[in-house]
Amino acid sequence: MSETLLAKQKSNLPEINIMWDPRRGNLGEGIGFKESLKKPVAYETLGRKNAGKSSLSEVLAAHYPKVIDLFGSRDNEGLCWVRSPFGKQVLFLKGNSVKIDCNCADIINATDVKVSDFEKYQAVVSCSCFYGDMTEEWHALTKLMSKLWHRSYWTEPWCVLIREAANLLYSRLALGENQYQAKNYMIYVLREMRHHGYALALDTLRMYSIDADIRALSDFIFIKALGIEGLQAELRWVYKYYKPKSLMKLKPEQFIIVSNCGPLGVGWFDYPSWHKKEHENLIREFDIQITYGQVPHIPGSGSSQVGDYEHLRIIKSRIETGKSMDVLAAELGRSSRTIHKHITLHNNTIRTLGECDTCARVNGDYRRRVTD
């Protein structure tokens, strides 16, 4: 897209307006908010259900040249980018077990995508409906998150949008990690994203869902309507400036903003016209046809079982390199007996059924080819 067309698009985006409270001083040496929209910084939005968290995150993300919408609620609200100012320049990420047919976006497997594939799109979207189950989704997105670090050089910041950010923590728990490991991973993500040119827009339903150490890494915290939850201890100083009752009942377009430098303000934003409304069925609206196949077997963390993706690596390495079973066993961290078992299973299944069903579940290129 030309810079002129992109600038025209951005000029029509919803605005975010802020009035800083003079009682807390100015931003001083910190990053100004409008300036931050051109930098890889972290934004966090806190608030109860229906407080307007997700719509604010979308407006923040839309001010960047590219948005990568990774996590969200189960109602697939990330599909809204199809009707955003980004138009047809949308890429859908999906699980290997799912087939998608649509005319509104390009499609690629989340496990196969490379950061270089994002270049020609303005919105990259992953929705829960694009995966056979939650385990497949979390496994695919975990691999994708590790690939984001491969962006070693950048000239413009991209924005990674994580709705209901606690889901990222839960995904690590679901894959077998304990709470300590999951929290450390989240902190690592926040710290490293900016070094690779990614801004982060996070939102969370409850104050206690995201640890204080994680919130401390946010450059700006947006406080939406809190309901009965109230502010957590380290943010209760905000009540010296704004009454608790007023924070309970903020309108969806309103917010309180806290800079990590100390300044405090009030603000409001324009509602994004493309945002998903409560009872909309965006899958039907955009005529997206989804077919679900067999979900790959993915063992939990620490399990000695060989999952479908590891089976695929064994077969792929054997066919493409011709290495002996002992060498493959050493490289893959498995016994030669395990390597032999899976090669034999692969070959016997093809000879009996015509294809290896294990390889087929992960769309393996060699599902119909026996090894030597």
- Percent of the chain predicted with pLDDT > 90: 29
**93: Cβ contacts below 8 Å, ≥ 6 apart:** 108, 109, 110, 113, 124, 125, 126, 130, 140, 144
pLDDT band at 158 (very low <50, low <70, confident <90, very high): very high
Q: What is the pTM of this model?
A: 0.76
What is the model's pLDDT at position 160?
92
Answer positive or negative: Cα dihedral of 236, 266, 41, 27. Answer: negative
Q: Say if residues 241 and 62 touch (Cβ distance below 8 Å).
A: no
**328: Cβ contacts below 8 Å, ≥ 6 apart:** 314, 317, 318, 334, 336, 339
Q: Which pLDDT tens digit goes with each residue over 280-323? A: 999 999 999 998 887 776 776 555 688 888 898 899 999 999 89
Instruction: Give Cα 257 distance to the centre of its chain.
Output: 23
Mean pLDDT (the chain, rounded): 82
In this prediction, residues 109-131 reach a mean pLDDT of: 90
Q: Which pLDDT tens digit goes with each residue over 69-111? A: 987 767 889 999 999 887 668 999 998 888 999 999 999 998 8
Q: Say if residues 362 and 96 touch (Cβ distance below 8 Å).
A: yes
pLDDT at 268 over 60: yes
